[in-house]
Structure 1
């Protein structure tokens, strides 16, 4: 074998051989080529493009997954908001049950009620108490000083005859605090029944139906007592959780 170099500087060689009859054959030459710089740049560029495509795919997957999470969260929030609008009674129970201290009472029409006072029960329907709240003498006793959400609803069904005068419906939450030494009205609302155009009300075969709802945040002291005053008691609806009273800590 004879080595040589071509005009381009590439290394080559020649190989002599003999035939089967012992005659000397020709010479076969070969050239050992090296990769050029252009070919190396092409390979490197292809690898960089592949890496860029992989990173783009990962980014798209991450971004799309994040958008799905945001959309799912928005859907859950919208569903919860819709539930709160259509069923405030059930929503308040759900919120209150997750609070550190909460109480939820349902109205009852048994007993004379003591004038304008509706009787509250903690052992019927969806009622419950936890975290130190207690029901004493038809009043809610606050266990600790802090911020609380107080809420109550009174539902009424009034029979309105032809030419009947509007019937006033009232609902109020009272508070007594030892630090003040007297009772004070926390919140109240008045609505009239038997009107030709009454907001948030409807009629059916049993009469004219509406509800008075109260709810707000208050700073309460340990030992404060909360109770309600409702009129007229004879027109109250107390079945199926239509009338309720509760407090939960914030």
Structure 2
């Protein structure tokens, strides 16, 4: 058999096997890049779908929460006996605490003393009263409320007296400092006496009521601060402090 002599044209084309191997390598690289691109696009689509699903769930959940809260808040706003209404709403909650209070200088000289086992007071669902403070049992939305009632003896027209104030304080590890959660102030002895001197010396009755919804954390502590403690109304049901879960 005669040998094959390479022609000048063959020399110019170069080795046939080198062209084939290079083409295969380029095709594999192209496919690998295409698969990586598809993977990135798939992950992006899944993330977008998850975000849309989360947003939809939150959007659907918000009206439900509002529907659950509105009847309770409407009852509360229109209630004549706020104390009884709050106690009733709190009693229907899975977790709630409702405290009765009075000022007793023999027990503590600087605050209203709260009790969970007197009158209409109660606690359920993990709420605790520790050191005259309410301990929050779990993280969530809560309705926090309190009322301090006062009876001040007014001396006459033009009298300038210290306004009544009632504050709910919060301590949370996430904040690290005491925070003013709710506060209210009322002026007293502002009645127009005129010539009715017989009204001088009457007891001026007023109450400072506080209430709002808050996001609280497990372990948070709530307590109250009240001024003019000697003027705090001693009658049962006039002073209360409570929290219930929503």
Q: Distance in 1 between matches of 2:151 and 2:168?
A: 21
Answer 1 or 2: which has greater helix percent: 2
Alignment match of 1:146 (pick from 140, 145, 148)? 140
Q: Decide whether the 8 Å contact of 2:144 with 2:213 is kept in 1.
A: yes
Shift of 1:178: 1.2
Q: Do residues 191 (structure 1) and 186 (structure 2) align?
A: yes
Q: Do residues 236 (structure 1) and 229 (structure 2) align?
A: no
Q: Distance in 1 between matches of 2:201 and 2:116?
A: 31
Q: Distance in 1 between matches of 2:88 and 2:169?
A: 25
Unaligned runs of 5+ in 1: 1-76, 198-202
If you compute each CA radius of gyration, which structure gives the higher value, 1 or 2? 1
Q: Distance in 1 between matches of 2:120 and 2:76?
A: 21
Answer 1 or 2: which has greater strand percent: 1
Given the two structures, how large is their TM-score scaled by the length of structure 2? 0.63
How many correspondences in the alignment? 168
Q: Do residues 219 (structure 1) and 215 (structure 2) align?
A: yes
Q: 1:82 to 1:212 in 2, by over 3 A?
A: closer
Given the two structures, how large is their TM-score scaled by the length of structure 1? 0.62
Q: 1:114 to 1:85 in 2, by over 3 A?
A: same
Q: Decide whether the 8 Å contact of 2:170 with 2:223 is kept in 1.
A: yes
Query: Which structure has the higher relative contact order (CA within 8 Å, separation 6+)?
Result: 2
Q: Distance in 2 between matches of 1:204 and 1:111?
A: 28
Q: Distance in 1 between matches of 2:203 and 2:171?
A: 36
Q: Do residues 179 (structure 1) and 152 (structure 2) align?
A: no
Q: Decide whether the 8 Å contact of 1:166 with 1:195 is kept in 2.
A: no
Q: Decide whether the 8 Å contact of 1:153 with 1:214 is kept in 2.
A: yes
Which residue is 2:92 aligned to? Answer: 98
Which residue is 1:158 aligned to? Answer: 152
Alignment match of 2:245 (pick from 232, 244, 249)? 249
Q: Distance in 2 between matches of 1:103 and 1:83?
A: 20
Superposed CA RMSD: 2.4
